[in-house]
Chain A
Amino acid sequence: MTTPPLAQFSGQQQQQTQAARDVNTASLCRIGQETVQDIVLRTMEIFQLLRNMQLPNGVTYHPNTHQDRLGKLQEHLRTLSVLFRKLRLVYDKCNENCAGLEPIPSEQLIPYVEDDSSKLEDRMANQLRAASEERREVLEVNKKLKQKNQQLKMIMDQLRNLIWEINSMLAVRS
């Protein structure tokens, strides 16, 4: 039953799974969430197009308008087909990557202010060493970003001075 569709897209799926293997799982969850939102938005656009379509009654029929709307409808459906395939790949990859995680109830995962976090302290002690390196990298990149922002501000000030000088020259000339 499922063999013919898989055979048709085997090459494409291999490429996508190869690319998905290197992608971060947290990024995969965000990509999946955005794909679902995109699917819902495009479905609503399809219904909007259908609502605005005039049934062929022989009076107000325009071939150009009809072809334009038909093209838009087919484009939306084609994109939705791609999005569903992408969502299936992301979903399977997320399940595969999160299979090793222990099923903790969602209430315990939310960090509270009053909570002393003793429940997760032992569990997080193992991941703290790995996360500290990533956090140090984040702080380092943040520092570079601030330098870039200061550099941008300096360039903007120079541009502003340049424009002011040009306006002064024009005023002196006239």
Chain B
Amino acid sequence: MASSMCGMFPGQQPPGSLPPPGPGGPGQPGLLTGTPGNRGANNTLVDELEASFEACFASLVSQDYVNGTDQEEIRTGVDQCIQKFLDVARQTECFFLQKRLQLSVQKPEQVEKEDASELKNELQRKEMLIQKHLAKIHHWQQVLEDINVQHKKPTELPQGPLAFLEQASANLPAPMKPN
């Protein structure tokens, strides 16, 4: 029990290296910043999200549950912490969605610029796909020419391969012209 919990704390140090400015002392930041009504300038949504994230793991390694082994109490505490984490995450996502909605009305050129950049990326991806298919066509043409050279020795089917190659070469210049 203690080894897995001790192993979790060093892993949790990186997110803890940026502690939110809690109103209380240097105790556990997750429990001390549990004030849902405090959404002033000091506590941003990201700070609340980080605090609730740490609270999810603080409830697992808390010393308050060592004496009492009440299963329902532990389950309720963990569920509340996870529910709060999900609620704050949903609020943060709503914040970004509302900002984007405001931008789409007050600064529509930014949304249009984003659409233009996405379409340009799509254009580049199509171009790479076209180049890949053209290389494949050239490769198979070489294979067929080699087969044609082999077939010239027995001269059993002189016209079939030649007619096909003429047809293939006639079709190839078509995609080059639109460029």
Contact = CB atoms under 8 A, between A and B. Distances in A.
Interface of A: 1-2, 5, 8, 24-27, 29-30, 32-33, 36-37, 39-40, 43, 50, 53, 55-56, 70, 73-74, 77-78, 80-81, 84-85, 87-88, 91, 94, 98, 101-102, 104, 106, 109-110, 120, 123-124, 127-128, 130-131, 133-135, 137-138, 141-142, 144-145, 147-152, 154-156, 158-159, 161-162, 165-166, 169, 172-173
B15 A123 contact: no
Contacts of B49: 36, 39, 84, 87
Chain A interface helix/strand/loop/mixed = helix
24 contacts: A8-B17, A26-B107, A26-B113, A39-B53, A40-B85, A43-B53, A56-B3, A70-B7, A74-B11, A80-B53, A81-B14, A88-B18, A101-B107, A110-B101, A128-B108, A130-B108, A131-B108, A141-B119, A141-B120, A144-B123, A152-B126, A158-B171, A162-B137, A166-B144
A36 B102 contact: no
Interface residues of B, number: 75
A147 B133 CA distance: 16
Interface stretch (B31-39, B66-74, B90-98): B90-98
Given A29-B103, A109-B102, A137-B116, A162 B168 contact: yes
A145 B129 CA distance: 13
Interface of B: 1, 3-4, 7-8, 11-12, 14-15, 17-19, 21, 44-46, 49-50, 53, 56, 60, 85-86, 89, 92-93, 95-117, 119-120, 122-123, 126-127, 129-130, 133-134, 136-137, 140, 144, 147, 157, 160-161, 164, 167-168, 171-172, 174-175, 178
